[in-house]
């Protein structure tokens, strides 16, 4: 019982810290999200049913209100659940870095397919990003959110799949410049992997 109370207390503290923290959204940056061409609101998470190998598109338009350095990637809870066919980064969990001018917009988009590794269950695909001040190099924003939470069926996609292209995108992947995951995002990832190891089907 004491252990359960302690865990609940930690979770409450975590959510309190998140709720009370300064949110620079609207002051430093904004974004628009798209799934298969549809504009989403910032709280909407698509939950499509996809076949193994069925391609889908995700896109984010970042608007910066001050000159900054943007680092961004598509992320998964463990290697091998999704494959990028084409997009702003060549592979899952590989960062791309760009300099954004004041009051400018940058579009990042990907065509992705699910593999058979999580067939029969639901799994998130996330966008992880960090914004640093261009002059001081100080971190202004770092966060992660789920852009889609598809259910992967056990059937294989038989339609036309775009060919996987080698990307010429320049990426910054050195440990010194790689943004860190948020604490809450890491907590969710560990929980999902634990469920998979215990053969528990989510959703």
Question: pTM of the full predicted structure?
Answer: 0.72
Decide if 90 contacts 114 (C-beta within 8 A): no
Q: Where are the domains of the chain?
A: 22-197
| pLDDT attached to residue 57 | 98
What would the DSSP string read from start to end of 52-74? ET--EEEEEEEEESS-EEEEEEE
| pLDDT attached to residue 152 | 98
Count of C-beta atoms within a 10 Å radius of residue 69: 19
Answer whether residue 190 shows pLDDT above 50: no
Measured CA to CA, the distance from residue 203 to residue 197 in angstroms comes to 16
**22-197: CATH architecture:** Sandwich (2.60)
Decide if 35 contacts 148 (C-beta within 8 A): yes
Sign of the torsion formed by the C-alpha atoms of 134, 135, 136 and 141: negative
Answer whether residue 114 shows pLDDT above 60: yes
Mean pLDDT of 183-197: 45
Answer whether residue 5 shows pLDDT above 90: no
Closest CA to 189 of 144, 153, 151: 144
| pLDDT attached to residue 26 | 86
Dump pLDDT digits (tens) for 26-79. 899 999 999 999 999 878 899 999 999 999 999 999 999 999 999 999 999 999
Dump pLDDT digits (tens) for 124-141. 999 999 999 999 999 999
């Amino acid at each position: 019982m004491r252990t359960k109370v302690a865990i609940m207390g930690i979770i409450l503290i975590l959510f309190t810290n998140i709720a009370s923290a300064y949110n620079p959204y609207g002051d430093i940056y904004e974004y628009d999200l798209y799934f298969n061409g549809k504009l989403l609101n910032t709280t909407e998470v698509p939950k499509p049913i996809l076949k193994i190998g069925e391609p889908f598109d995700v896109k984010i338009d970042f608007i910066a209100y001050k000159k900054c350095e943007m680092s961004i990637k598509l992320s998964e809870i463990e290697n091998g659940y999704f494959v990028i066919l084409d997009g702003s980064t060549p592979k899952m969990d590989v960062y791309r870095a760009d300099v954004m001018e004041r009051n400018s917009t940058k579009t990042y988009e990907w065509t992705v397919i699910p593999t058979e590794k999580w067939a029969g269950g639901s799994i998130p695909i996330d966008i992880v990003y960090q914004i640093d001040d261009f002059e001081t190099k100080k971190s202004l924003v770092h966060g992660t959110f789920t852009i889609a939470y598809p259910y992967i069926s056990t059937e294989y996609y038989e339609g036309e799949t775009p060919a996987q292209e080698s990307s010429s995108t320049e990426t910054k992947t050195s440990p010194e410049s790689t943004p860190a995951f948020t604490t809450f995002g890491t907590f969710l990832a560990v929980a999902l992997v634990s469920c998979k190891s215990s053969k528990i089907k989510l959703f």
